[in-house]
Amino acid sequence: MKSLCPIVVAFVSALACSPSQSTMDADTSDAGSNDVGTIDAGIEVGAGRQPLCDGVPHLRLSVAYVGGGQVVPGSGVRVENGYALFAVDGTCSYWLAGGWTDDALSGDLPVRTGKLSDTDARVIEDALPLGDIAALGAGCSPSSIPDAQSRTLRTATGSVTCGQFATSTAAGMRLEAAWMTVQTIARTLWQSGTPMDGALHVSAVGPASLPPTPSSPPAYAWPIAVPLSSFVLDSSDWSSSGVSRLVDDPGSARQLRTMRDQYLADRTAQPGLYSNWDGLIATDQSTMAIVYMRDAIPYEDAQGLLKF
């Protein structure tokens, strides 16, 4: 770990903008839409149609936002697979990361899981050409705004990452309709999904110190036997993906999850205390660091990144 000034680490974390706060900016006007599965007249949706739930336990679809603002240094573990992530496998199991609803804490919320209904699976099949997902990218181009939010859709056959597109074109209307279909279903599933209780990916940034103010966020007691220092990233990895440490011991993961739950409860109860702060500060008496974590989901590689 490179030597860093504790106050600098805390100050950088305090001023950085959490990406979850911008997740829904582009789509909040459609939050009440009931047009699930609606495709504009004249746009073909049959091409590339494949069953979403083919009965095989492999990743079939991953939909997420990427980009969309500065990521707090060292916190990439929370969004390295995209934020507002929606992943589905061939058994119709799904996993949802926070961000499909407008919540300032979405980056820290537990991943939720459940089973797609037959109806939702058919609607997604109608909207997305799973056999030729790249066809949805016609007319897409990178955004002209640095770090702007983009939409990404991935399957085993290809991917689409779209920063901007013309909704006035047939291709643009098709992409917008497909995205809104997935978004509407994801928002509903978020409400009914079950928080995960398995392994966690954990990263930490330190050394850190509490802001020198009378009303500082509390430092939480590091709850597991593994030293906190072993999770601290070198500063050269602050902007890297796949550098977190997996905690797969059930007891340790449960203790870390309890600490995270308390942090979320405290932020909800006293939002003013954390108004300019993003991250859970923990200490094991030897190390104080800002801790970030994310629930592990199936189909990740050894670095914790989703692979088809």
Residues 6+ positions from 71 with CB-CB distance below 8 Å:
16, 19, 79, 239
Q: Is the pLDDT of residue 47 over 80?
A: no
Domain that holds residue 42: 19-195
Does one domain contain both 87 and 132?
A: yes
162-166, 215-219, 227-231: range with highest mean pLDDT? 227-231
| pLDDT tens string 266-304 | 999 988 887 777 889 999 999 999 999 999 999 999 999
Does one domain contain both 12 and 27?
A: no
Does one domain contain both 124 and 25?
A: yes
CA atoms of 75 and 82, how far apart (whole Å):
13
Asked whether residue 308 is assigned to any structural domain, the reply reads no
Does one domain contain both 123 and 232?
A: no
Does one domain contain both 33 and 168?
A: yes
What is the chain's percent helix, strand, coil content, to nearest 5?
Answer: 30, 20, 50
Asked whether residue 303 is assigned to any structural domain, the reply reads no
The three-class DSSP label of residue 158 is: strand
Does one domain contain both 181 and 253?
A: no
CATH code: domain of residue 138 = 3.30.1560
Buried/exposed code over 252-266 (b: 16+ C-beta within 10 A; e: otherwise)? bbebbbebbeebeeb
Asked whether residue 104 is assigned to any structural domain, the reply reads yes
CA atoms of 220 and 232, how far apart (whole Å):
16
Does one domain contain both 12 and 29?
A: no
Among residues 195, 214, 247, which one ends one of the domains?
195
Does one domain contain both 70 and 85?
A: yes
Does one domain contain both 117 and 83?
A: yes
Does one domain contain both 72 and 167?
A: yes
Q: Looking at residues 5-9, what average pLDDT do you find?
A: 35
Q: What is the DSSP letter of 297?
A: -
Instruction: Give me the number of domains the chain comprises.
Output: 2
Asked whether residue 306 is assigned to any structural domain, the reply reads no
Q: Looking at residues 129-140, what average pLDDT do you find?
A: 88
Among residues 175, 195, 215, which one ends one of the domains?
195
Does one domain contain both 173 and 184?
A: yes
Q: What is the pLDDT of residue 119?
A: 97
Poorest-pLDDT segment among 77-86, 128-137, 163-172: 163-172
Q: What is the pLDDT of residue 291?
A: 96
Among residues 195, 220, 250, which one ends one of the domains?
195
Does one domain contain both 72 and 122?
A: yes
